[in-house]
Structure 1
Amino acid sequence: MSTPSKARSNPSKPGIDPVVAEVTERIARRSADTRAAYLARTDAAIDKGPARGRLACANLAHGFAAAEEPVRSGLRSGRKPNVAIVSAYNDMLSAHQPFRDVPEVLKKSIVRAGGLAQFAGGVPAMCDGITQGRAGMELSLFSRDLIAMSTAVALSHDMFDAAMMLGVCDKIVPGLLIGALSFGHLPTVFVPAGPMPSGLPNAEKARVRQLYAEGKVGREELLEAESQSYHSAGTCTFYGTANSNQMLMEVMGLHLPDATFANPGTPLRAALTRAAGDRTVAITAAGGEPTPVGHLVDEKAVVNACVALLATGGSTNHTMHLVAIAAAAGITLTWDDLSDLSAAVPLLTRIYPNGSADINHFVAAGGTPFLVHTLLKHGYLHDDVLTVSGRGLWRHTREARLDGAGDRAGIVWEEGPKSSLDTDVLRPADDPFAPDGGLRMLSGRLGRAVVKTSAVKPEHRVVTAPAMVFDDQADFLAAFAEGRLDGRDLVAVVRYQGPAANGMPELHKLMPALGVLQDRGQRVAVVTDGRMSGASGKVPAAIHVTPEAALGGPLARVREGDLVTVDAETGVLEVELADAEFERREATGRAPHDVEWAGTGRELFSGFRAIVGTAETGASVIRPLPAPTEEAPVVQPV
């Protein structure tokens, strides 16, 4: 296997785009104190090294009591780096099922590379696709912070010199990274599982869903279409939060180059997994290339992640997840930063729901290596960043190829494509699908919101229409089924769906019905303090509205028939009403109270609802540490 860090240096040094440079600089200025404090804690932990060298004999004996050789003797002697493996494996979810045997594969590759490995812990992994429209969806967003805490518990034994994170989907990867950043002194490598092979084309799946919403096909036909789409182990092939997660981990430098989208069960995927184990040993202090994750995830890496999200039309969930991830590294990222970057970064992909292609088509067209190449070439990405493969993001312009055969096959990295093989799916930065990243911030008297425009045709991006107000998505769907939405322009205001109300569920089930209305020629939009994620499609959707209705936000004062404007072109979210009249209105409707917010485990998370932050600040229950003062200096780890 070739070593990524030993490859040649980047042959070109393009100037960085001025907007990308300005946003990066202002994030760094804004974050100077909190980032410095974070790095001080991280560097103090690096200096002390793993605590197992200072553990009392009884403590250390507990740490290797069940270990087999050579881990047992290696931990006893303390001379080899020990790698923690944290996994989101379960065999119900297709994206995580491929991780079943990966810990044992990693252990073997790590031992061959001169290290040791222990399975440190598992974290929960739930699927938004299964819980759509169900009570379980109200745990989904909160599970991110629970996963972060679970990751911290797994690493808390302080037996480790590095960590490997096994996860794929929606809240799982952000949670793993937030948890890993609380142990910023540990080098950390993320190990993807890869997408399932292509099944029923996404456009056909969407067509059948819409026919079902109209009552033109039955449940059997719908189930058959869905099971042809989601048909094997691996990540779902559309470009929702799961595949957006994987893209961001690679562009942040936390995956090996071109490791992200190799299909499960293939020799290439198996070799990339083994290579990840080898590389993790190399980036420990003992391996000679120490790469602490707290140093790797810096302001430039965060901006690179934002650029990759925008250039690919990725999931709107990351307007919260990236904010929370950055905060875990002492960095303050805002929606305004994302909005300004979106205005400058071109849209380079058409992957469902922003097009008809799936993620495997994207790979065939040139995939991540070409995407990174063209973004670097035109100055939209920072090249001078630390990655788990060495310094320089240019490493991710190369393609992974098998070197040898069988269980010992390695990986070599070769020059990746310098042009797209399918410009209907992937384009160069100087010939984009759109000049902007398709993610915009809206503001007005209804609050601040996010809108994803990359899949919305220009003629549908501005809607002014009477409000129809719903306190639950089920009420909207009932109104659609009863025909009460027919033959009229409308803005569906679906409120009391924010983090403090009911955990901020995704409202995927709204889209097929709204799509039917739009196709009939009605002017329609949706405004909600809930989430839409990768379902944000052809209908304009002002989502993540903050302040949320449950905390007295303006949506609570909207009434049936109010004229509401959703303008995704100029960034306006407004109600056409005199200021004085709107301000003196009493709130109507109500958020779910504790009696209703019970069952399916929801009552166990009532404390999260009470302390969760706003969508704009990451919708997190984890509070970033403040910058130190003379009265409260940085606390050094023991």
Structure 2
Amino acid sequence: MTLDIPTAPFAAAPHPTLAAVTERIVQRSGATRAAYLARVDAASATGPARGRLGCANLAHGFAASEPVEKAALRGRTKPNLAIVTSYNDMLSAHQPYGAYPPVLKDAVIRAGGIAQVAGGVPAMCDGITQGRDGMQLSLFSRDVIAMSTAIALSHDMFDAALMLGVCDKIVPGLLIGALSFGHLPTVFVPAGPMESGLPNKEKARVRQQFAEGKVGREELLEAESASYHSRGTCTFYGTANSNQLIMEVLGLHLPGSSFVNPGTPLREALTRAAAAQAVAISPQHGATVRIADVVDEKAVVNACVALLASGGSTNHTLHLVAIARAAGIMLTWQDLSDLAAVVPLLARIYPNGSADVNHFHAAGGIGFLVRTLLSAGLLHDDVRTIAGPGLSRYATEPRLREGAAGTEVTWEPGTETSLDTGVLRPTTDPFSPDGGLRMLSGPLGTAVIKTSAVAPEHQVVTAPAVVFDDQDDFLEAFGRGDLDGRDLVAVLRYQGPAANGMPELHKLTPSLGVLQDRGQQVAIVTDGRMSGASGKVPAAIHVTPEAAVGGPLARVRDGDVVTVDAVSGTLTVDAPDLDTRAATGRPLTDEEWSGTGRELFAAFRAVVGPADAGASVFTAHTNPHLPTEATVVRA
């Protein structure tokens, strides 16, 4: 079934760089994509799996169901949809999902199907675990979520799926897991952002004042509570909201559904419409739209472009690579970097501006972004989506109307002009001619840097290195005043996936911002992650190879002059003997990397792949065993 969503002939021919990058991804991925699709085809050819289950198997599968549901599950005429949920009531973004299963089940039944909650996946919050040991499990949780999704779908009871997730590692994990069942039509169902609270600039100001000791914990907590104040996604443009934008541009959300607030009539109507559409694209309804066919090379490139044009999360330089590989597609950082050179920055959403995602949505949101990028030839229109063929369907806006069956969703053409050019602009009048994300390379390795929030005068920093092996050591040095009054490049190493799970280092952002605001030239170079909302201080992140596996960062010493050059795309150090030096410092041993559940993830740490391959245990076998000796050599 194709939804009644208008399309328009405004898509231009693909930009030469878009076409070239897409073609080389297709060529590079020939063997892996073919192997993936062969597995999907084999699964598709077998039809609804529950029809082949043994009687005892099937009886177990519907034992808890109501009689009418049992009757439906005995037969093959009605599609059975799996609901995989990341609900918990601690995370504001995921709390709304507690009420979703009954709503979804009712909508599925009305559409001619049946649904079961197939399983749940963990959902942790980087905002809660910042600077804590639990943050070291955050990136690994993505792969756990992927495996949990596969377990939920493994019962072979299902003809389509509904995925409920919003935040940082949850959506990439759900998508990677769903792609392992690529023969199933799959719809992602968003929950929407909370309404706007304390302006993000004011929140950042109070954080910096706290770092300087100018306000206390009560004032800081009051500001944070006014920012994160209700149900829904946090409203800044970090990884969670980047997830939502990417899912929509991939064609896995219904058009215009990502940033509708929870608890509104339109939100519930879109949730019901998503369930009905999953039924409509199931095999029993004769219009199967497999997730394997939605997430193809062109769709992956579209997701990259949307991320770049919106100034999205640096975490997606990891997640998009891992997601693509789950579909047999070999995306690289160089692909992202080359696209960034021609994709203009079209949005200013905090930390790249003062607006939040509610302001972005009101200005025209994803619909306008898709329209203007298609008009410039910077997106592929000829893709499959859960809403029907063609990405131009996503240049629309959902509206409520009264129909024969009551209130329902309809889609209208979206605005052709931005309603706030301080937040969202067309490709003809961008905030910047490039997408604000670059790859850096040089003798220190390969890294990525987000420049969309970095002022031009800070995009090239040359200064002596100050080396740290733990973020707490940096914060202690800042507190003592050791970093005052001098330019510096903070080199924070042994923070990569093999070292300690690659935690976000966002806790450092206020202190670095204070130093920069005092007139110091400051940058950070790390094999770890900063926040998906990385801001005004230049940060060369995800450096690979990481220090824990012998990367050059392990041989950098205090005083080495490091240059972070976001203009030329280089990451250099003035140390002619770098290659012959002995490494200093070390990652934690397995004995030290324990507590808060970390010991349970020792196997992940030992086999995780490098950052530029997605930092995933599914693309492992590249890292040597970590050192276990207790000897420490300090820089």
Q: Same fold (TM over 0.5)?
A: yes
Amino acid at match of 2:616: S
Aligned to 2:628: none
Cα shift readout 1:508-552 (whole Å, capped 9, x = no counterpart): 011110111111110000000000132311010000000000111
Write out aligned runs for 1:135-534 (5 A): 135-404=133-402, 408-534=406-532
* 2:591 pairs with 1:591: no
Amino acid at match of 2:578: F
Measure the CA separation in 2 of the matches of 1:426 and 1:98.
28
Structure 2 gaps, min length 5? 622-635
1:446 deviates by 0.5
1:8 deviates by 4.6
Measure the CA separation in 2 of the matches of 1:171 and 1:405.
38
1:405 deviates by 9.2
8 Å CA contact 2:544, 2:612 repeated in 1: yes
Measure the CA separation in 2 of the matches of 1:75 and 1:84.
13
Cα shift readout 1:581-609 (whole Å, capped 9, x = no counterpart): 11111111111111221111000000000
1:69 deviates by 3.8
Aligned to 2:562: 564
TM-score (norm: length of structure 1)? 0.96
Aligned to 1:72: 70
Q: 2:448 is paired with a residue of what secondary structure?
A: strand
8 Å CA contact 2:80, 2:159 repeated in 1: yes
1:390/1:406 Cα in 2 relative to 1: closer, same or farther (>3 Å)? closer
8 Å CA contact 2:442, 2:570 repeated in 1: yes
Aligned to 1:115: 113
Aligned to 1:548: 546
Measure the CA separation in 2 of the matches of 1:587 and 1:330.
36
Measure the CA separation in 2 of the matches of 1:4 and 1:39.
24
Cα shift readout 1:464-513 (whole Å, capped 9, x = no counterpart): 10000000000000000000000000000000000000000000011110
1:555/1:261 Cα in 2 relative to 1: closer, same or farther (>3 Å)? same
* 2:45 pairs with 1:47: yes
* 2:615 pairs with 1:616: no
8 Å CA contact 1:196, 1:236 repeated in 2: yes
Measure the CA separation in 1 of the matches of 2:376 and 2:5.
22
Measure the CA separation in 2 of the matches of 1:572 and 1:533.
22
Amino acid at match of 2:124: M
1:359 deviates by 0.3
1:353 deviates by 0.5
Measure the CA separation in 2 of the matches of 1:442 and 1:624.
23
1:58 deviates by 0.8
Aligned to 1:635: none
8 Å CA contact 1:45, 1:185 repeated in 2: yes
Measure the CA separation in 2 of the matches of 1:446 and 1:439.
19
1:10 deviates by 3.1
Cα shift readout 1:339-379 (whole Å, capped 9, x = no counterpart): 00000100000000000100000011111111111011111
1:528/1:407 Cα in 2 relative to 1: closer, same or farther (>3 Å)? farther
Measure the CA separation in 2 of the matches of 1:6 and 1:484.
63
1:267 deviates by 0.5
Amino acid at match of 1:73: A
1:570/1:552 Cα in 2 relative to 1: closer, same or farther (>3 Å)? same
1:407 deviates by 10
Q: Equivalent of 1:601, from 578, 597, 622?
A: 597
Measure the CA separation in 2 of the matches of 1:311 and 1:240.
14
1:13 deviates by 4.0
Measure the CA separation in 1 of the matches of 2:84 and 2:6.
32
8 Å CA contact 1:353, 1:534 repeated in 2: no
Q: Equivalent of 2:91, from 90, 93, 99?
A: 93
1:99 deviates by 0.3
8 Å CA contact 2:246, 2:303 repeated in 1: yes
1:173 deviates by 0.1
8 Å CA contact 1:4, 1:413 repeated in 2: no
Cα shift readout 1:287-330 (whole Å, capped 9, x = no counterpart): 22210001110000000000000000000000010000000000
Cα shift readout 1:166-211 (whole Å, capped 9, x = no counterpart): 0000000000000000000000000000000000000000000000
8 Å CA contact 1:511, 1:535 repeated in 2: no
1:406 deviates by 13
Q: CA RMSD in A?
A: 1.3
Measure the CA separation in 2 of the matches of 1:120 and 1:408.
30
1:242 deviates by 0.1
1:623 deviates by 3.3
Amino acid at match of 1:304: N
Cα shift readout 1:96-148 (whole Å, capped 9, x = no counterpart): 00000101100000000000100000000000000000000000000000000
1:9 deviates by 4.4
1:50 deviates by 2.1
Measure the CA separation in 2 of the matches of 1:7 and 1:128.
37
1:76 deviates by 1.0
Measure the CA separation in 2 of the matches of 1:280 and 1:359.
27
Aligned to 1:83: 81
Amino acid at match of 2:444: L
Q: 1:217 is paired with a residue of what secondary structure?
A: coil
1:406/1:195 Cα in 2 relative to 1: closer, same or farther (>3 Å)? farther
Aligned to 2:630: none
Measure the CA separation in 2 of the matches of 1:480 and 1:533.
20
Measure the CA separation in 2 of the matches of 1:74 and 1:559.
68
Cα shift readout 1:23-67 (whole Å, capped 9, x = no counterpart): 000000000111111111111111111221111111111111111
1:431 deviates by 0.5
8 Å CA contact 1:327, 1:624 repeated in 2: no
Amino acid at match of 2:375: K
Measure the CA separation in 2 of the matches of 1:410 and 1:124.
32
Q: 1:234 is paired with a residue of what secondary structure?
A: coil
Measure the CA separation in 2 of the matches of 1:318 and 1:351.
17
Measure the CA separation in 1 of the matches of 2:485 and 2:603.
43
1:417 deviates by 0.2
Q: 2:583 is paired with a residue of what secondary structure?
A: coil
8 Å CA contact 1:328, 1:624 repeated in 2: no
Measure the CA separation in 2 of the matches of 1:363 and 1:9.
20
Q: 1:441 is paired with a residue of what secondary structure?
A: strand
> Percent identity, aligned pairs only?
72
Measure the CA separation in 1 of the matches of 2:585 and 2:54.
59
Aligned to 2:633: none
1:119/1:406 Cα in 2 relative to 1: closer, same or farther (>3 Å)? farther
Amino acid at match of 2:584: T
8 Å CA contact 2:6, 2:396 repeated in 1: no
Structure 1 gaps, min length 5? 626-638
Amino acid at match of 1:418: E
